[in-house]
Amino acid sequence: GENVEQHPSTLSVQEGDSAVIKCTYSDSASNYFPWYKQELGKRPQLIIDIRSNVGEKKDQRIAVTLNKTAKHFSLHITETQPEDSAVYFCAAPAGGNQFYFGTGTSLTVIP
């Protein structure tokens, strides 16, 4: 079955700096990797995703990269702003209709 590991568990950056969160997965058949953002006391919301047929996807200040050979994918946030402070979760398919989620990264952007 799938095993998803996420690092780091906490991350503090100065406003304007970049933040990188990395996830590794174990199932080489996995083909879709979403990232969710969860603000304090709120529900998780999808912010970006990537399929295994591409190596990178960008959406304004957010990008995700995928290395299928090494079985890891990363979330990159550039020019961080205080409103980026949240917990970020990666996920990977666990066969059929299930997803396994990483344990989350708590990002704090210091003004």
- Please tell me the distance from the alpha carbon of residue 1 to that of residue 3, in angstroms, as a whole number: 7
In 3D space, the residue among 78, 87, 85, 81 whose CA is nearest the CA of residue 108 turns out to be 85
Alpha-carbon dihedral sign for residues 52, 54, 58, 64:
positive
What does the alpha-carbon distance between residue 56 and residue 38 come to, in Å, rounded to a whole number?
22
51 touches other proteins (CB under 8 A): yes
Shortest Cβ 110–other proteins spacing (Å) = 21
Residue from 14, 83, 96, 111 touching other proteins (CB under 8 A): that is: 96
Among 49, 57, 76, 78, binds other proteins (CB under 8 A): 49
Residue 31's CB is within 10 A of a number of other CB atoms, namely: 14
Toward other proteins, which CB reaches closer, 18 or 67?
Answer: 67
- At closest approach, how far in Å is the CB of 106 from other proteins? 8
Interaction between residue 32 and other proteins (CB under 8 A): yes
Distance CA 72, CA 26 (A): 9
Residues making contact with other proteins (CB under 8 A): 4, 6, 9, 31-32, 34, 42-46, 49, 51, 89, 93-94, 96-104
